[in-house]
Chain A
């Protein structure tokens, strides 16, 4: 089995895996980074969102062989101590219900705000529509993204 060298949250990590293994399962099963969640496996729900070279990416569709070229950031690496403005906004608004989708939501939000620092409400609603929240905490996610934007600006 081939060995792949990855850069995850600033650290160099290597893994022996089939080349078609999605990054999601490498993170979860091999690197014990379980903050990135499995939801659908086909890039539809956004629970597995990570940053690949700063871009919000569905890790269930990104093969490990491709990911070797990229700087990967997961929720565990978004900040060292959950102090990223997006994480703090999520806490202040008390967004989570079950909480399972929220890592993916926060990763989508963080990447979006980097590209769009002062988003309008409709830009937020469109940008965040790739992530499903089954508990439908959408009103609070929307508010938290607005709050995070104000913290970042």
Chain B
């Protein structure tokens, strides 16, 4: 097994300093890549260019530290946790640190980003090195001033002390420090000396959020801006033949109506007028390509699973032989629907296209890629396109796709006006990009009381599992093991949805292991633990989950959840999973109220290495578990002749407070480098409650959402 390490970086290539004209020092650095050697940070904050460096630290003459973080914040907390890593090694008091989302881009530069559950894992080393480098430069400057050796100096909370006990604040030496060369080697703190990492640090934006300040793309405004609502084809496969905007143009406030591609834009003086104008449009839609239905997909995916055309993602031993010689073969099919992301903040974007430049502002997880696509669409030079990021009212994968920014840019390009495109909830839910509908067939062979073969087949709409997913547990644990995938190409747009593929695969696999244990009549925890023994010492580099760490979270979950020792009437379900480099085990406690299963509590044990910010980490964990339960229970989305089944929250059911369990979180204490938490607690949740419902009601759920697959009398809520 390979230990995951952060890429080693040459500090000289990614850290540069300059003395600020207004006093203090500015340190520019790149988190994940080297910058051009000739580039130096500007002497004025207003000249910060995130194209040269992707983050900056300013240390002012008064010792205050400002960290400019341009990474997108979608609610996962990196705007708080990433600066914590810098502040720790810089050795300053957190109360003296101000975190600023990268200043508004006024100079035509795009920004680089880091995304997904990888920000903390990848930033762990470079962010701390940057803080430590700045600290060393400040020490060196103080040492020169005192005429002592830097090694005699120590720091504490922004104050440097020498052997004689003389003290200098960081602010007193920043000017001298800016003139020094960047040290080649710096020592990072021993984790036992951490003052900030591991402490509960509140969300840096919490004051603005509770006061209702403008933070989100939806809140962005500019003088002269017009509001846009777009009418899109009512079904996947339909295209625009023609339209009549006569009535639309009579709506007071409507400025203009025009067609672009197969869509119609309504420009107005305010959002309501744009929405009303859109409702008054009369459009003729004709069939452009096939109008698909979930009914057809069900059959197609089933045929794919039963067919022979697969791509093999991993193959150990010979599953067919294992099945042919088995005492027993167990086979189950698990089915999931499409899912919309349903970010609380509907998609929106600001665009202003002029002859000189293309300016975009809004909530986007991929500003750099989106800027490039806009440049291509409008046939502009990439350097003419700028993107400014706002805080995001949720992402869940949806804001990786810049389709809404492209629409805004195209509309501004046609109208030559600064525009703010706003999706209604109906637009948001029906315009596309969904988690693909997927079916899994899992087969396992048992011989002599042992699991001898495991064959996982995936049939999905448009896209299959990727990366290292086929090498997750139980890869390496079963001698004959194979993962095969097949897909059906559809005109329904799909994409990443929080914990892509594993969000449902974990349910299938962990439900299957529960059932295997029942059929084999072995303890369900022991079955998992015994399988993990087979992985210990495995040298396959593709297997990156740790059997030791998975074993530890499983055993801790057993202990903390009082597994098997609950009073009568409490039914428990177990699930454990590794994804996004984090190991998780969950136990759901279900009781029957009026004979209906109700999830009361989920005990969640997480090994994410060092916990950078426990306060933020627990929030992610609680949210991930409840999100996983909500979508497994209620998430339903299908198509009839290309038309989405749900368009708003009157029929699309999201989990609400009266349906949520208490999530009790336990961390495995660790000195290992941290890993991400935005996604990994979601995947195991579905199986934990399905396994508990099996214990309570005897119903084995294999299809999501559960609510559609239980007897009416078993309906929850």
A residues near B (Cβ < 8 Å) are: 1, 17-18, 21-22, 25, 28-30, 32-42, 44-45, 47, 74-76, 81-82, 87-88, 90-91, 94, 96-103, 106, 124-126, 128-142
List the B side residues contacting A88 at CB < 8 Å.
Answer: 210
Q: How far is the CA of A29 from the CA of B214 in the complex (A)?
A: 12
For residue B76, CB closer than 8 A to chain A, the reply is yes
CB distance from B303 to the nearest CB of A (A): 35
Q: How far is the CA of A90 from the CA of B211 in the complex (A)?
A: 11
List the A side residues contacting B123 at CB < 8 Å.
Answer: none
Contact code string B361-393 (vs A, CB < 8 Å = 1, else 0): 000000000000000000000000000000111
List the A side residues contacting B272 at CB < 8 Å.
Answer: 17-18, 21-22, 25, 29
List the A side residues contacting B270 at CB < 8 Å.
Answer: 17, 21, 25, 29-30
Of the A-B pairs whose beta carbons lie under 8 Å apart in the complex, a sample of 16, sorted by A's number, is: A18-B273, A29-B270, A37-B216, A40-B649, A90-B209, A98-B344, A98-B393, A99-B393, A100-B343, A100-B393, A103-B212, A124-B657, A132-B654, A132-B656, A136-B624, A139-B622
The answer to whether residues A25 and B619 also contact, given A134-B343, A134-B654, A135-B75 and a CB cut-off of 8 A, is: no
Please name the residue on chain A nearest to B220 by beta carbon. A34
- Nearest first, the 6 closest Cβ-Cβ pairs linking A and B are A35-B212, A100-B393, A98-B75, A75-B212, A136-B626, A44-B649
Are A47 and B227 in contact, with the CB atoms below 8 A?
no
Are B210 and A97 in contact, with the CB atoms below 8 A?
no
List the A side residues contacting B218 at CB < 8 Å.
Answer: 34, 37-38
CB distance from A105 to the nearest CB of B (A): 9
Q: How far is the CA of A98 from the CA of B270 in the complex (A)?
A: 26
For residue B77, CB closer than 8 A to chain A, the reply is yes
Are A132 and B660 in contact, with the CB atoms below 8 A?
no
Q: How far is the CA of A33 from the CA of B394 in the complex (A)?
A: 21
Contact code string B338-354 (vs A, CB < 8 Å = 1, else 0): 00001111100000000
Are A91 and B394 in contact, with the CB atoms below 8 A?
no
Are B344 and A94 in contact, with the CB atoms below 8 A?
no
CB distance from B340 to the nearest CB of A (A): 11
Candidates B271, B391, B625, B660; contact of A99 at CB < 8 Å? B391
Are A138 and B626 in contact, with the CB atoms below 8 A?
yes
Candidates A21, A41, A82, A139; contact of B660 at CB < 8 Å? A139
Interface centre among A76, A81, A96 (most CB of B within 10 A): A96
CB distance from B533 to the nearest CB of A (A): 35
Are A34 and B650 in contact, with the CB atoms below 8 A?
no
The answer to whether residues A139 and B663 also contact, given A44-B650, A99-B75, A99-B393 and a CB cut-off of 8 A, is: yes
Are A98 and B394 in contact, with the CB atoms below 8 A?
yes
**A-B interface pairs (CB < 8 A), number:** 192
For residue B648, CB closer than 8 A to chain A, the reply is yes
Are B221 and A32 in contact, with the CB atoms below 8 A?
yes
Are B205 and A99 in contact, with the CB atoms below 8 A?
yes
List the A side residues contacting B205 at CB < 8 Å.
Answer: 96, 99
Please name the residue on chain A nearest to B659 by beta carbon. A129
Are A74 and B425 in contact, with the CB atoms below 8 A?
no
Please name the residue on chain A nearest to B272 by beta carbon. A25
For residue B462, CB closer than 8 A to chain A, the reply is no
List the B side residues contacting A74 at CB < 8 Å.
Answer: 212
Candidates A38, A91, A97, A132; contact of B77 at CB < 8 Å? A97
Interface centre among A21, A29, A141 (most CB of B within 10 A): A29
Are B622 and A134 in contact, with the CB atoms below 8 A?
no
List the A side residues contacting B626 at CB < 8 Å.
Answer: 136, 138-139
The answer to whether residues A133 and B210 also contact, given A28-B271, A38-B218, A98-B75 and a CB cut-off of 8 A, is: no
For residue B8, CB closer than 8 A to chain A, the reply is no
List the A side residues contacting B648 at CB < 8 Å.
Answer: 40-42, 44
Grouping DSSP codes into helix (H, G, I), strand (E, B) and loop, the A interface class, with mixed when no group exceeds half, is loop
CB distance from B417 to the nearest CB of A (A): 16
The answer to whether residues A97 and B75 also contact, given A30-B270, A36-B212, A42-B650 and a CB cut-off of 8 A, is: yes
List the A side residues contacting B424 at CB < 8 Å.
Answer: 41
List the A side residues contacting B655 at CB < 8 Å.
Answer: 136, 138
Q: How far is the CA of A36 from the CA of B271 in the complex (A)?
A: 14
B residues near A (Cβ < 8 Å) are: 74-77, 200, 202-203, 205-207, 209-216, 218-219, 221, 227, 252-253, 270-273, 275-276, 342-346, 391-396, 422, 424-425, 615-616, 619-620, 622-627, 630, 648-650, 654-660, 662-663
Are B623 and A125 in contact, with the CB atoms below 8 A?
no
Q: How far is the CA of A9 from the CA of B215 in the complex (A)?
A: 21
CB distance from B574 to the nearest CB of A (A): 21
CB distance from A116 to the nearest CB of B (A): 15
The answer to whether residues A106 and B650 also contact, given A41-B424, A91-B202, A138-B660 and a CB cut-off of 8 A, is: no
Are B656 and A96 in contact, with the CB atoms below 8 A?
no
CB distance from B183 to the nearest CB of A (A): 36
Given A76-B211, A138-B626, 12 extra CB contacts under 8 A: A18-B272, A25-B272, A29-B272, A34-B221, A37-B216, A41-B424, A76-B212, A96-B210, A125-B658, A135-B75, A135-B623, A136-B625
Q: How far is the CA of A133 from the CA of B75 in the complex (A)?
A: 12
Q: How far is the CA of A26 from the CA of B219 in the complex (A)?
A: 13
Are A138 and B650 in contact, with the CB atoms below 8 A?
no
Please name the residue on chain B nearest to A84 by beta carbon. B210
List the B side residues contacting A75 at CB < 8 Å.
Answer: 211-212
List the A side residues contacting B627 at CB < 8 Å.
Answer: 134-136
Are B425 and A42 in contact, with the CB atoms below 8 A?
yes
Q: How far is the CA of A139 from the CA of B599 in the complex (A)?
A: 14
Please name the residue on chain A nearest to B251 by beta carbon. A18
CB distance from B87 to the nearest CB of A (A): 18
Are B630 and A136 in contact, with the CB atoms below 8 A?
yes
The answer to whether residues A99 and B649 also contact, given A125-B657, A126-B658, A132-B656 and a CB cut-off of 8 A, is: no
Candidates A96, A124, A125; contact of B203 at CB < 8 Å? A96
Are B660 and A94 in contact, with the CB atoms below 8 A?
no
Q: How far is the CA of A87 from the CA of B253 in the complex (A)?
A: 36
CB distance from B276 to the nearest CB of A (A): 8
List the A side residues contacting B215 at CB < 8 Å.
Answer: 99
List the A side residues contacting B253 at CB < 8 Å.
Answer: 18
Are B271 and A140 in contact, with the CB atoms below 8 A?
no
Are B342 and A134 in contact, with the CB atoms below 8 A?
yes
Are B252 and A1 in contact, with the CB atoms below 8 A?
yes
Please name the residue on chain A nearest to B655 by beta carbon. A136
The answer to whether residues A140 and B344 also contact, given A29-B272, A82-B211, A132-B654 and a CB cut-off of 8 A, is: no
Are B344 and A134 in contact, with the CB atoms below 8 A?
yes
Are B209 and A102 in contact, with the CB atoms below 8 A?
yes
Are B203 and A94 in contact, with the CB atoms below 8 A?
yes
List the A side residues contacting B630 at CB < 8 Å.
Answer: 136
Q: How far is the CA of A76 from the CA of B219 in the complex (A)?
A: 14
Are A97 and B620 in contact, with the CB atoms below 8 A?
yes
CB distance from B221 to the nearest CB of A (A): 7
CB distance from B292 to the nearest CB of A (A): 27
